Amino acid sequence: MRQAAWGILVIGVLGAGACGGGDGTVADTPAVTDEGRLDPGNPGDTGFADIDRTDLAPPPDAAVEDPGPGEDPGTVVDPGTAPDDASTDPGTPDDPGASDPGTPDPGASDPGPAYHPEGWSDPAVHGAALKVGQEDCRTCHGTTLSGKGNAPGCDDCHSEGWRTNCTFCHGGTDNATGAPPRDLSGATAAAELRYPAHTAHVSRTRHPAYDCKECHVKPAALLDPGHILDDTPGRSEVIFHDISDAAVRDAAAGRCATAYCHGNGQGDNGAIGDRDPAPDCGGCHGSKAVEASWGGMSGDHRKHLGEGLECGDCHGAVVTGSTTIQNPDLHVNGAVDRTLPGISMVLNTCNGSCHGKFHIGNGW
C-alpha cells in the first residue's frame, strides 16, 4: 500500500516542481546557443522547473547571462552555497576554448534558484503544505526529514520535541489533547470544521474522555506509517476500535452508523450525523421522562419504571436519579453497569426485595 502511495507521490512531486518554477509551465528546455552554451532563458524565467535538482550547478558560464540573485524567486536559507573561493577559480585560462569558457564563474558552487517560492519559511505557508500533503517533503528533505543535500532538516528551525508534540500541528485551542478544532486546512470556525464534535468526544462530560484511538489509528511518532504524507493527503482516516469497533464512517455524508456508542446499549445500532445536536438522555436509549420509550429497553425496564423507580435505583454507580450522570467513566464505556441495591441478579433472574416487592426468582 505504501509502495503504491510512493508512486503516486513521486508523480505529484514531479508535477509540483513547476510551482517553484514561477510560471507553472512544465517544459522550459533551455535553448542551446551558437556558442554551445546553455541559454538560461529570459531573466524572469529561471527555467529550472525541469532541471534535475540533484545536479544543481548551473552550466558553465551561465553567470554571463545569469539574471542574478535579484531574480532569485527563493528565500533566505541557502545552506548549499559555499563562499566563492578564489583559489579554486581558474581565472582566465590560456585556452578558453578547451574546457573552460574563461569567465570567472561566481555561480559555480551556487545551487541556483531556490526550489520553494518566496515566503515559504513562514510556518503558515510550508506548514500548510505539509498538512494538506501538497508534495512529499521526504523526497528532498530525506526519509526522516532530517535534511538531504541543500534541503535543510526540519529540526534545524523547529522547537525541540516538535515531532512528538501533537499540538504542534493539531488542536491545542480547546484543550491539549491535539484533537482538532483546527482543521488540516487551517479552518477553525465550527461551521467549517470537518468534524466539529472532536472536543465533545475527547472531553470527559457524560462519558469518558475518548482517546484518538477510539476512532483513528493513533500514531506514536510523527513518521509512523499512515500518519503524515500518506496516500490520502489532507484527509484523515477514521478506523474505529474498542468500544464501537463495528461502527462505519460515511465521510461524504458526514455520518457514523452501526455505532455502539450512539445506540441503545443492546448492540451496534446507533447512528448520528456530525452536525446533529448532541443527543439528550432519550436520544440513544429510553429515558424516564418519555414513557413511550420504555418498551424499547430490555427485560422489565418498563414495569419497574412504571412502578416509580429511577434509573439510579438500579444503575446507582453511573447515575443519580434519572438524568444526572455521576460517573462518566462508567457511561458509554462498553459495559452495562448495574448496582442493584441489596440484591443480586444471576442469569437474568432477580433475587431480592428492594421496593417492598419480594420477587426472588423472577426473571428480569
Judged by CB under 6 A, the chain residues 55 through 84 that form the site for ligand HEC are 74-78
Among 7, 123, 273, 341, binds ligand HEC (CB under 6 A): 123
Q: Which of 27-35, 64-72, 90-98, 292-300 is the region at the interface with ligand HEC (rule: CB under 6 A)?
A: 292-300
Among 144, 269, 298, 351, binds ligand HEC (CB under 6 A): 298
Among 156, 242, 276, 291, binds ligand HEC (CB under 6 A): 156
Q: Are the C-beta atoms of 151 and 110 separated by less than 8 Å?
A: no
What lies within 8 Å, CB to CB, of 126 at 6+ separation is 116, 120
Q: Which of 30-38, 65-73, 95-103, 132-140 is the region at the interface with ligand HEC (rule: CB under 6 A)?
A: 132-140
- x/- site string to ligand HEC, residues 331 to 350, per CB under 6 A? xxxxxxxx------x--x--
3-state class percentages of the chain: helix first, strand second, coil last, to nearest 5: 20, 10, 70
Among 141, 181, 199, 208, binds ligand HEC (CB under 6 A): 141
Among 108, 246, 271, 309, binds ligand HEC (CB under 6 A): 309
247 binds ligand HEC (CB under 6 A): no
What are the residue ranges of helices labelled H in the chain? 2-20, 62-65, 128-131, 138-141, 198-202, 301-306, 311-314
Closest distance between ligand HEC and the C-beta of residue 190, in Å?
A: 13
Among 46, 47, 110, 115, binds ligand HEC (CB under 6 A): 115
Among 101, 154, 199, 208, binds ligand HEC (CB under 6 A): 154
Q: Residues 172-178: contacts with CB within 8 Å, 24+ apart?
A: 174/198, 174/199, 175/199, 175/202, 175/203, 177/202, 177/209, 177/212, 178/212
Q: Is 362 helix (H, G, I), strand (E, B) or coil?
A: strand
164 binds ligand HEC (CB under 6 A): yes
Q: Which of 43-51, 62-70, 87-95, 145-153 is the region at the interface with ligand HEC (rule: CB under 6 A)?
A: 145-153
CA 178: distance to chain centroid?
Answer: 10
2 binds ligand HEC (CB under 6 A): no
C-beta of 100 vs 237, nearer to ligand HEC: 237
230 binds ligand HEC (CB under 6 A): yes
364 binds ligand HEC (CB under 6 A): yes
C-beta of 62 vs 151, nearer to ligand HEC: 151
Among 37, 216, 302, 359, binds ligand HEC (CB under 6 A): 216
Amino acid identity at 188: T
- Rule CB under 6 A: which of 23-62 touch ligand HEC? 53
Q: How far apart are CA 118 and CA 75, in angstroms?
A: 5
Q: Would you put residue 267 in left (φ > 0), alpha (ψ -120 to 50) or beta?
A: left
- x/- site string to ligand HEC, residues 194 to 213, per CB under 6 A? xx--x--xx---x---x-x-
Name the residue with the smallest CB distance to ligand HEC. 127
Q: Residues 74-78: contacts with CB within 8 Å, 24+ apart?
A: 74/20, 74/113, 74/114, 74/115, 74/116, 74/117, 74/118, 74/120, 75/114, 75/116, 75/117, 75/118, 75/119, 75/120, 75/121, 76/121, 77/121, 77/152, 78/111, 78/114, 78/150
What lies within 8 Å, CB to CB, of 34 at 6+ separation is none
Closest distance between ligand HEC and the C-beta of residue 312, in Å?
A: 7
